[in-house]
Amino acid sequence: MLLRLPLVISLVAVSLAAASPASAGGPLKTGFFDPLAFNDVGRQAHHFDQARAAGSSVVRLSLHWPSIAPKVRPPLFDPANSSSPGYFWTWFDTQLQLAKARGLEPIAEIAFAPRWASGDDEGLWRPDPVEYGKFARAAAIRYSGSYSPLPGQPPLPRIRFWLAWGESNRDYHLMPQYEGGRIASAILYRSLVNQLANAVLSVNPSNQVVAGALAPVGRSGRPAPLAFLREMLCLSRALGRTCDLRSNPIRADIWSHHAYTMGGPTHRVQTRDDVSIGELPKLRRYLRAAVRLGHLRPRGSLGFWVTEFGWDSRPPDPQGLPPKIHARWTSEALYRMWNAGVSVVTWWRIQDDPLHVSRYQTGFFGSDGRPKYSLTAFRFPVVAFRRSRGVFVWGRTPYGAGGRIVVQIKAGGGWRQLGSLRANGHGIFQRTFGTSARRGSVRAVYRGQRSLPFSLTLVRDRTLEPFGCGNPVPC
């Protein structure tokens, strides 16, 4: 849902890059992608404070190429040199410094192109992959952790994670989508990823390349994510080879996805090439096949992230989810993504827009800045499901810290202790507790902090639009 507008750490980075399986209790880092809030001059610091208060350890930042590059390319301009006259980095420097000061690991997405590097004024039509790579190199040098904009100033913070474009299967992000009966955007995206990879890895080989970030469903003229992947990765439906990329594989260390669902956390898609939460294992099978064939070449195990997700809440959106369902589904979505192998989730928007401004009311703070009921579900997610021998409980502590957890149940009376356990080094805890209770609610307590109660009564799935209504969609 990228918008076209300007817009501690080493240990966190190591765990972000890891692709630990859910069965091993791997990490679940959470954060936000909110280009409006993070570029809201005068209130940026407040919004980064909100992100940290919501339990975040990461933020996805939009490194908007046209807002940094000159509108007209000067005669002696060197696009690979971040100090070349014509570049304007200050606004992004500020975002990065604010994030770093709050212990938030930045994920920088480079998308859209200046007019001189693409075929249209929007920066969408055939962006030049070579020029894209030059800009990525300039950015990687500037944000290498050792670059000082002026003599005597401390160096700018480092960016380790670099995301190539976003929602490349959408014609409002990349064009053309189709050409000659093929998905042209997938072929172009392959080049964009590799040019970015070559650039940022040449600056520091320990940088990490993130690819994907595809929209979850196909539309007319907009390919579904698995169709896009088959073209990009040269895969057949049977996950065999349709062309040979072994001599020039896609260089990505992490694959991300936008796992929006047209229902609840267990909702299944209606078209076989779409991918929401329930289809994440299928997406991973595609990726494993591409790695096995040598078409996708990560350095180590391929990481798996969700870099955009959310639902509108009611209020303020009359077509959004009521507070308790918004909270329940938030916790359950995080659990189900983690259970599918996802180690990082960045939520779409931290603070709502008013309905008359846009249809995005997915944040955990209202447009007036007040926290929503569901904020705790994002900060301290806990789920509980009945099993034949008791109740299965899963959760993640705020900020993913380890320690002792007390699990409590309320079934026909007050809260009583169900048991206790320790969260691992990633803050993950899970266990099936023996109990005859079939109804009631479960919560966890960690260092005096309580999760929201999670009812043992299942909530029926429903079909809905995750963004409900709001300008320009009438309510």
Task: Write phi, then psi, for 196 (nearest 5 degrees).
Answer: -65, -45
Is the backbone of residue 373 left (phi > 0), alpha (psi -120 to 50) or beta? Answer: alpha
pLDDT of amino acid 16: 57
Structure tokens at 346: 């960045």
pLDDT of amino acid 23: 53
- C-alpha of 106 from chain center: 11
Contacts of 162 (CB under 8 A, 6+ apart): 107, 108, 110, 136, 139, 140, 196, 200, 207, 208, 209, 210
- Look at residue 97 and tell me whether its pLDDT is greater than 70: yes
Based on the domain organization, do 415 and 278 belong to the same domain?
no
pLDDT digits (tens, 9 = 90+) for 450-471: 999 999 999 999 999 999 999 9
| Domain assignment present for 338 | yes
pLDDT of amino acid 72: 96
Question: For residues 56 and 310, what is the distance between their CA atoms, to the nearest angstrom?
Answer: 15
pLDDT of amino acid 326: 99
Based on the domain organization, do 321 and 242 belong to the same domain?
yes
- Look at residue 333 and tell me whether its pLDDT is greater than 60: yes
Domain ranges, residue 419 = 382-450
- Look at residue 123 and tell me whether its pLDDT is greater than 60: yes
Based on the domain organization, do 148 and 266 belong to the same domain?
yes
Based on the domain organization, do 45 and 145 belong to the same domain?
yes
Average pLDDT over residues 177-186: 97
- Look at residue 287 and tell me whether its pLDDT is greater than 70: yes
Based on the domain organization, do 418 and 289 belong to the same domain?
no
Burial 42-80 (b: 16+ CB within 10 A, else e): eebeebbebbbbbbbbbbbbbbbbbbbbbeeeeeeeebb
- Look at residue 3 and tell me whether its pLDDT is greater than 50: no
Choice between 16 and 429, residue whose per-residue pLDDT is larger: 429
Report which of 369, 381, 396, 368 is spatially closest to residue 332, judged by C-alpha positions: 381
What single-letter amino acid sits at 417?
A: Q
pLDDT digits (tens, 9 = 90+) for 205-227: 999 999 999 999 998 899 999 99
- First vs last C-alpha separation in the chain: 21
Report which of 106, 112, 16, 9 is spatially closest to residue 61, judged by C-alpha positions: 106
| Domain assignment present for 471 | no
Q: What is the pTM of this model?
A: 0.94
pLDDT of amino acid 22: 60
Nearest 10 degrees: Cα torsion 21, 27, 32, 38? -130
pLDDT cut 70: percent of the chain above it? 95
226: buried, middle or exposed (CB in 10 Å: 19+, 13-18, 0-12)? buried
Nearest 10 degrees: Cα torsion 288, 292, 297, 300? 70
- Look at residue 55 and tell me whether its pLDDT is greater than 90: yes
| Domain assignment present for 467 | no
Element (H, E) at 432: strand 428-433
Structure tokens at 141: 């040098």
| Domain assignment present for 461 | no
Based on the domain organization, do 236 and 300 belong to the same domain?
yes
Average pLDDT over residues 236-253: 98
pLDDT of amino acid 1: 57
- Look at residue 21 and tell me whether its pLDDT is greater than 90: no
Question: For residues 177 and 169, what is the distance between their CA atoms, to the nearest angstrom?
Answer: 7
Question: For residues 182 and 387, what is the distance between their CA atoms, to the nearest angstrom?
Answer: 47
Contacts by 311-314 with C-beta closer than 8 Å and gap 24+?
Answer: 311/362, 311/464, 311/466, 312/359, 312/360, 312/361, 312/362, 312/466, 312/467, 312/468, 312/470, 313/352, 313/361, 313/362, 313/372, 313/374, 314/468
Based on the domain organization, do 249 and 124 belong to the same domain?
yes
Average pLDDT over residues 310-328: 98
pLDDT of amino acid 412: 86
| Domain assignment present for 314 | yes
pLDDT cut 90: percent of the chain above it? 92
Pairing of strands 344-348, 415-423: unpaired
Residue pointed to by tokens 């209020």: 315
Q: How far is CA 359 from CA 26, 169, 278, 319, in A?
A: 34, 21, 25, 10
| Least confident span in 14-18, 92-96, 205-209 | 14-18
pLDDT digits (tens, 9 = 90+) for 59-87: 999 999 999 999 999 999 999 999 999 99
Q: Tell me if the bond preceding 315 is cis, omega within 30° of 0.
A: yes
pLDDT of amino acid 213: 99
Based on the domain organization, do 19 and 141 belong to the same domain?
yes
Based on the domain organization, do 368 and 386 belong to the same domain?
no
| Domain assignment present for 469 | no
pLDDT category of residue 5 using cuts at 50, 70 and 90: very low
| Domain assignment present for 127 | yes
CATH code at 33? 3.20.20.80
Average pLDDT over residues 338-346: 99
Based on the domain organization, do 54 and 155 belong to the same domain?
yes
Based on the domain organization, do 57 and 158 belong to the same domain?
yes
Average pLDDT over residues 303-321: 98
Based on the domain organization, do 307 and 393 belong to the same domain?
no
pLDDT category of residue 11 using cuts at 50, 70 and 90: very low
Q: Which residue, 354, 379, 404, sits at the end of a domain?
A: 379
| Domain assignment present for 143 | yes
Q: Number of folded domains in the chain?
A: 2
Q: What is the mean pLDDT of the chain?
A: 95
297: buried, middle or exposed (CB in 10 Å: 19+, 13-18, 0-12)? middle
Largest CA distance in the chain: 77
